[in-house]
Chains A and B, each alone.
Chain A
Amino acid sequence: SYELTQPPSVSVSPGLTASISCSGDKLGSDYVSWYQQKPGQSPVLVIYQDDKRPSGIPERFSASNSGNTATLTISGTQAMDEADYYCQAWGSGVVFGGGTKLTVL
C-alpha cells in the first residue's frame, strides 16, 4: 500500500519560516493536499492540488510538490499556527501522512 512519510515534529521560532516535508514514491506525479488540525478541532484544509490555498487561508501558507517530496511552508510563523499538519494524496484510496506536530517557540 502507498505510504506518505512526515517528520513527527518540527519546531520554529515566531516570525520565522517553518517547512514540513511529506515523502512518497513518485509523489510529484500526484496532487497533494495539506490539513491543519488543532487540539480538539476538526481538520482544516490549508492547501489543495499541490499549491492552492482555499479561501480564508492566509498567504503565509504555501506548498510545493516535486519528485518524491511535497513541502508545506509557513512564512512568518505565528503562535496560532501551532498545530498538527497532515499531507494527503491518492493511492487506490486516500492516503494520509502520519502527521507533523508544529511547535512555535
Chain B
Amino acid sequence: EVQLLESGGGLVEPGGSLRLSCEASGFMFSDYAMSWVRQAPGKGLEWVSGISGSGQSTYYADSVKGRFTISRDNSKNTVYLQMNSLRAEDTAVYYCARVGDQYCAGGSCFYSDYWGQGILVTVSS
C-alpha cells in the first residue's frame, strides 16, 4: 500500500524558514518523481515544486523560485521541501504527492496518483 506521510509543518514568522519532509512507503521510491502541492485556506490547488526520481531534475512554481528548494534522499525514501524567506501568502496546507507515471522526469507525465494527508504551514507574526 502506497503511503505518504508529511511532517515538519507549523507556525513560523515572516522571513523565517521551515523544512517539510515526506516519507514514502509501499513502492520503489527512486523510480518515481514527487511533487509538492499547496492549498491556501479556502483556495484552490497550487503546484509548488517537483523532482525526478533520481533527483537530477527539479521544477519550481514562479511564486517560490529562489526561496524554496526541493530535494530527496532515496536511501531514506524521503522528499524534502526547504522553505526560506517565508511570506504570509505561503500559508497553506502542503501536500506531498507521487507522480503516477513511473520513470517520469518531467513534462505531461507529471500527474499525481497518490497524495499525503497534508500538513499545515502558517506564516504569521
Contacts and interface: CB of A to CB of B under 8 A. Distances in A.
Contacts, number: 65
A63 to B, nearest CB: 12
A89 B100 CA distance: 13
Contacts of B60: 93
Nearest to A1: B62
B104 to A, nearest CB: 10
B100 A30 contact: no
A54 interface: yes
* Contact-residue bracket for chain A: 20 to 34
A80 interface: no
A33 B111 contact: yes
Interface in B34-64: 35, 37, 44-47, 50, 59-62
Given A30-B108, A31-B111, A45-B112, A96 B117 contact: no
A95 B47 contact: yes
Contacts of A48: 100, 111, 113
A42 B61 contact: no
Interface in B59-112: 59-62, 95, 97, 100, 106-112
Interface in B105-125: 106-113, 115-118
Contacts of B113: 45, 48, 54
Contacts of A1: 62
Nearest to A29: B108
